[in-house]
């Protein structure tokens, strides 16, 4: 009888793990993907959507045909409860989905409670709905310009998107002819500019500071936020920053179904994993991508999270798929790739400029790392978008 593999989530981690596993076992396994949405989202391009440079149709595709072509069953349903002791997941309609192996690739939800008022008064760009809402706010701003605050709160981890959006806002202000009328401020929990949630890169602080000065942006580091009102951000040191437009990246939490399963998740709803991406408590349950917990290897005055982007998520998904394949074959899973040792590869867009981050390891110690600035990075970012959407839509997950 074929083994049953259930994958929760259909974006970078879920799609990659499901199709890679199906291909590795030449169809000799039943793989089901369960997700609350029927589309794949290329998250890195959300930085452009509020300015009308992308629409949802540009950066999404329906996953049903992709999974069908790969021989993977797709169920559009949200998980309500994970019961690893019974090897099953219960969906929101009470339907039970049994499994032999489970891959949790569920992503995150925004932790709106960390800083009151962000959702209502600033908005963010980390989900499709968030970015569309920020686009509405941006259009309103253009009719009545004023000061702008862009930030990443205490506990946030998506600093790359915050920087990209900051520099894209500056670029759009210049294109609109109102750059000199607007005071643009960046507030971050990072201990210094260019920390990025990965403890920095060589010349990173200098390079980001140079970009900020060139764009006349005021940077406030090592700062927590108390709340966001309808027209100001209140900082932990008592200062208030008035704004007509604000975008704030919040911290993340694991989804409710994962957070409520305390035998596999921590208090924030993320899943502690071994280097094989098996959970600490169950050999047949895996977690990859945003759902997997990452131990922060440093201490900062204000809490800073570690970014978990699409590139490391794909690597984790391949490791998990390879280990499940080994287990199904009766072997011990031996494939390992600690998160800290995954290569760092990120292109930070700045409108008509940008910075490429390269490193042999995501986290320190690194043997090699560099930042490459220049306008070519915008073209590279666009090229990566087209490539990853094509690769994912056509199920070519084994390509780099």
Q: Kindly report the number of other CB atoms within 10 A of residue 18's CB atom.
A: 32
Q: How many CA atoms lie within 13 A of 119 on its CB side?
A: 10
Quick check: helix, strand or coil at residue 14?
Answer: helix
Asked if 130 and 123 touch (Cβ cutoff 8 Å), the reply is: yes
Which of the residues 287, 346, 350, 357 is marked catalytic? 346
Quick check: helix, strand or coil at residue 266?
Answer: coil
Q: Is 261 a catalytic residue?
A: no
Q: Is 346 a catalytic residue?
A: yes
Structure tokens at 271: 């899943």
Quick check: helix, strand or coil at residue 87?
Answer: coil
For residue 277, is it left (φ>0), alpha (ψ between -120 and 50) or beta? left
Which of the residues 5, 102, 158, 187 is marked catalytic? 158
Q: In terms of C-beta density within 10 A (0-12 exposed, 13-18 middle, 19 or more buried), how is residue 262 classed?
A: exposed
Q: What is the distance between the terminal CA atoms of the chain, rounded to a whole angstrom? A: 33
Q: How far apart are CA 178 and CA 375, in angstroms?
A: 22
Peptide bond into 365 cis (omega under 30): yes
Q: In 3D, which of 17, 100, 85 has the Cα closest to residue 330?
A: 100
Structure tokens at 157: 């981890």
Q: Give catalytic residue positions.
A: 158, 346
């Amino acid at each position: 009888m074929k083994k049953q593999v259930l994958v929760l989530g259909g974006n970078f981690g879920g799609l990659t793990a499901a199709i890679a596993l199906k291909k590795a076992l030449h169809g000799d396994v039943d793989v089901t993907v369960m997700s609350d949405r029927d589309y794949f989202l290329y998250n890195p391009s959300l930085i452009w959507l509020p300015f009308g440079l992308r629409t949802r149709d540009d950066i999404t595709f329906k996953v049903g045909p992709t999974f069908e072509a790969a021989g993977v069953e797709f169920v559009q349903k949200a998980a309500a409860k994970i019961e690893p002791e019974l090897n099953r997941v219960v969906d929101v309609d009470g339907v039970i989905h049994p499994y032999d192996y489970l891959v949790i690739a569920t992503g995150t939800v925004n932790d709106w409670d960390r800083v009151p008022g962000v959702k209502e008064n600033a908005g963010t760009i980390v989900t499709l709905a968030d970015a569309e809402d920020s686009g509405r706010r941006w259009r309103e701003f253009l009719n009545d310009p004023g000061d702008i605050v862009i930030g990443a709160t205490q506990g946030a981890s998506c600093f790359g998107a915050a920087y990209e959006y900051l520099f894209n806002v500056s670029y759009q202000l210049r294109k609109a002819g109102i750059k000199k009328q607007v005071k643009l401020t960046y507030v971050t929990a990072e201990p210094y500019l260019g920390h990025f949630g990965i403890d920095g890169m060589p010349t990173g602080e200098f390079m980001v500071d140079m970009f900020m000065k060139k764009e006349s942006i005021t940077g406030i580091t090592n700062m927590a936020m108390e709340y966001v009102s309808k027209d100001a951000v209140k900082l932990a040191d008592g200062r208030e920053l008035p704004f007509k437009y604000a975008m704030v990246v919040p911290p993340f939490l694991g989804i409710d179904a994962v957070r409520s399963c305390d035998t596999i998740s921590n208090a924030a709803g993320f899943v502690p994993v071994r280097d094989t991406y098996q959970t600490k408590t169950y050999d047949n349950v895996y977690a990859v991508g945003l759902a997997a917990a990452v131990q922060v290897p440093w201490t900062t005055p204000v809490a800073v999270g570690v970014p978990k982007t699409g590139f490391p998520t794909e690597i984790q998904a391949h490791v998990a798929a390879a280990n499940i394949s080994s287990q199904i074959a009766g072997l011990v899973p031996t494939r390992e790739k600690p998160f800290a040792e995954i290569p760092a590869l990120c292109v930070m867009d700045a409108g008509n400029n940008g910075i490429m981050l390269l490193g042999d390891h995501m986290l320190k110690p690194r043997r090699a790392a560099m930042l490459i600035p220049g306008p070519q990075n915008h073209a590279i970012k666009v090229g990566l978008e087209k490539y990853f959407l094509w690769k994912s839509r056509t199920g070519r997950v084994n390509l780099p």
